[in-house]
A and B are shown apart, each in its own frame.
Chain A
């Protein structure tokens, strides 16, 4: 006989689970909430009331003031530049990385090990020591003050994503490939018809990552974009701060908060596609 305690234990577990999750979520989100709340605080208040999430003097003017930007270029310009770089680079890197990943994951060819090791090695060197020689190369190509150094290399694959997609491809049973070959498919056909659809979650993940890395990247734009009208948001945000004089923290937080939105949107929209996993039930089991 079940004794009724009011709340069944299952619901109790579910409730405590919800509470746990909510508290964890709050911890995760707290710093962001702090950022947003500070963006609505008056300049003088930000550090004075740093422990409180509620602004004493509600200052939404931080947003239009920050938006004004610098020297005639508003954040409309900076956002536009960021979008161009991020979208183009992402499109390029998804396509090229998938292609290269397939080559490494599924095809045997002479020199594969060496090139793979080269690729891994290229990820291990701190960028600080290659950024100058790279700059010289792009400078000789006359690509300074263009978006090219930031976009073109993406169309040539990126080691991190190549490696990631490789791992996903290697999770796909090779029986699929074999049956396709029997049906007369070439390696290229296998890639397009079988592999790509099956690594869709990985491709979506690559898109999300690439978009927000490019969006936040400031070193590349710093070196290659000298003209302020080409600045993306990541650089513009840094311009608010100067160690030798007053920093407009309110404006910076406001624009920083705004700059979170596109990345969040991209994530929100794309993450649903990760959820729609592809089932390979036809083959397994």
Chain B
């Protein structure tokens, strides 16, 4: 009996490694070498067509002190993340709760709200978004219906282009919503029933039951959306191309440009590793804050 309890709480290296073996193999075979290679590239001049040449910290110095565009792309990306992530999560959570009932047409609504995220990075979505937010687009027609005559091209104007991309990002909240669904389903109905017996109203149910029990999933969505938000690439690449005037120059797009269009994979790698550092810091902060608000039923210590 004592021995069995020990295996539950003590180290079980064999089982641990057996279970994570698939990932470990993949990581060692396909991921770690490219990652370390790119770290090496970040300290070299590498144009993809010949051997990388070691140049020390030059790339990093150039990035921080000589590259104006770098700071532009940082600003653009931070704006995108700080505005887009909360917006998208809020919508996803709100709609997931709304659709967490059983009534007719629920399946239909779920599909409709999920549809946008299906379109991914197809060229079709680029054309569509440009059309919708262009000068003669649907948004302007809608505004004119409301009596607003003064219209601009939302996607062609440097002051609004980024927001149209943030809107695109928010519009595609379906995937985050899906994860919240799954989380909501894991909350036993008995909790709610007990709460009703105790006289709780909808808001109290939300705050005292839904949020805490959903917090591991909220945590997950927050971390992943932040990570992916910093790495956003496709929308800028296919819809605006980083313009106008670099107002939508996402960090990852800038990396791609320098690496592939200007054949500076070394510099691009340096940019990428700094991004990794930034994302790492943010993620670590979120992790550090988690004991304060994330509740695990399993009460385990990670």
- Given A119-B23, A164-B220, the answer on whether A124 and B279 have CB atoms closer than 8 Å is yes
How far does the alpha carbon of A170 sit from the alpha carbon of B186 in the complex, in Å? 12
Q: Is the pair B131, A50 in contact by a Cβ cutoff of 8 Å?
A: yes
Residues from 71 to 124 in A contacting B, C-beta threshold 8 Å: 96, 99-100, 102-110, 112, 115, 118-124
* A-chain residues with CB within 8 Å of residue B185 when the two chains form the complex: 201, 274-277
Contact with B along A179-193 (1 / 0, CB 8 A): 001100001100100
A285 at interface by CB-CB < 8 Å: yes
Q: Mark B93-132, 1 if CB is under 8 A from A, else 0.
A: 0000010000000010111111111111111110111011
A122 to B217, CA, bound (A): 21
- Does A109 contact B17, Cβ atoms closer than 8 Å? yes
| A47 CB contacts on chain B under 8 angstroms | 131
Give the number of chain B interface residues (Cβ < 8 Å): 107
- A155 is an interface residue with CB less than 8 A from chain B: yes
B233 touches A126 (CB 8 A): yes
Per DSSP, are chain B's interface residues mostly helix, strand or loop, or mixed?
helix
Given A32-B119, A277-B186, A129-B216 contact (CB < 8 Å) = no
B157 at the interface (CB under 8 A from A): no
CB contact between B182 and one of A118, A125, A202 (< 8 Å): that residue: A202
Say if the beta carbon of B64 comes within 8 Å of chain A: no
Contact with B along A2-17 (1 / 0, CB 8 A): 0000000000000000
B137 at the interface (CB under 8 A from A): yes
Q: What are 21 pairs between A and B in contact, CB < 8 Å?
A: A25-B113, A31-B128, A50-B137, A100-B20, A103-B16, A105-B300, A108-B10, A108-B16, A124-B230, A126-B233, A130-B35, A156-B26, A164-B179, A167-B219, A173-B297, A191-B19, A201-B186, A205-B181, A208-B178, A240-B123, A260-B119
* Further contacts, 18 of them, CB under 8 A, given A107-B16, A115-B24: A28-B115, A29-B115, A31-B128, A34-B131, A104-B20, A107-B12, A107-B19, A108-B11, A108-B16, A124-B230, A124-B275, A153-B26, A167-B220, A172-B297, A201-B182, A271-B111, A271-B178, A285-B194
